[in-house]
Amino acid sequence: MFGETLFTETDVLSWRPALSGRGQTTPERKAGGGYVLMKGLFTLTSSESKRLIAKAVPLLPQVNHALENGTIIVANGTTNAFVAEELGGARIPSKLLYSAGIITQGMLGTTPVDKRIPALVLQKGKRVDIPWQDALAGFGPGDVFIKGGNAIDLDGCVGVLVADPNGGTIGRALPVIQARGATLVMPVGLEKLVPSVAEAAGCLGARTFDWALGTPVGMIVVTNAEIITEIEAIELLTGASATCVASGGIGGSEGAVTLVVTGDERQVGKAREIVEAIKGEGPITW
């Protein structure tokens, strides 16, 4: 069972989530003038984090609106493979092949073009079998483009690695999204947290390296996306606040994140239910 921590009114007024300024929970008032917050602690593997984040994406108001009235493109990517399952209602047979650029076996690389699963396109909630580029041509306000990332920082910047000399998927989509007022949603796990996306991008550039183990890449920086990490996912799904307190692991928990959730009994209990339900999500493999 989760423990209880008793806060005075002064304590509560000064309390803030450590990694997110959003989603502060209003504590439950108890007899005697104090406040009770409940807390839970858990670790998510990389795949479990991806599933958690994917379950939260449909709850975003912009996504919900586009499911009813607009177009949604779920670009290729491993996290997006989970998102495509949640939005499209069908299992992705190989999440690895629902990606383009990948980091696997200790190197940067790409999946075979002829074996990739096409990006999911939804129009008013219905799957349509058209290339995502064709759907993007009709984009406007109310439409949503969903794209993963390779790096995220505490300033809310997301970095996307690109091997394509013309900028790849994000290089083609971002100008259209920004010029027309569409929405860019970026589901990114906290395993990809870096000190500075801008600094990382300044170090990269596919044609700047003297040597590279794997595919040389550049990075495109995105500064105005709707980002969903595990923290936002917990808030959307339960109303609780979440704080990332540790990361990493061994024996299948490489890339794992450890989180503390805080909220009232209902919120923290709901978080426990969701986490227990996604526990055991299998790793993405060849």
Among 201, 195, 209, residue whose Cα is nearest residue 162: 201
pLDDT the model gives residue 285: 86
What is residue 18's predicted lDDT score, i.e. its pLDDT? 35
Q: Are 168 and 100 in contact (CB under 8 A)?
A: yes
Residues facing 242 on adjacent strands? 261
24 class by beta-carbon count within 10 Å (0-12 exposed, 13-18 middle, 19+ buried) = middle
Cα gap 72→182, rounded to integer Å? 10
Q: Which of 145, 30, 46, 56 lies closest to 102 in space, CA to CA?
A: 46
Q: How far apart are CA 20 and CA 152, in angstroms?
A: 13
Please report the DSSP string for 119-182 in residue order: PEEEETTEE--S-HHHHHHT--TT-EEE---SEE-TTS-EEEEE-STT-HHHHHHHHHHHHHT-
Per-residue pLDDT at 5? 40
**Which residues touch 250 (CB under 8 Å, ≥6 apart)?**
none
Going from the C-alpha of 106 to that of each of 79, 102, 109, the distances in angstroms are 19, 10, 10
DSSP codes joined into one string, 164-193: STT-HHHHHHHHHHHHHT-EEEEE--GGGB
| Residuewise pLDDT in 10s, the chain (286 residues) | 334 344 333 333 333 333 343 444 445 545 445 557 999 999 999 999 999 999 999 999 999 999 999 999 999 999 999 999 999 999 998 999 999 999 999 999 999 999 999 999 999 999 999 999 999 999 999 999 999 999 999 999 999 999 999 999 999 999 999 999 999 999 999 999 999 999 999 999 999 999 999 999 999 999 999 999 999 999 999 999 999 999 999 999 999 999 999 999 999 999 999 999 999 999 998 7
How much is the pLDDT for 286?
75
Alpha-carbon distance of 1 to 39, in angstroms, equals 10
Nearest to 47 by CA among 9, 86, 78, 5: 78
Gap between the Cα atoms of 112 and 109, Å rounded: 10
Is residue 260 within 8 Å of residue 243, measured between CB atoms?
yes
Amino acid at 28: E
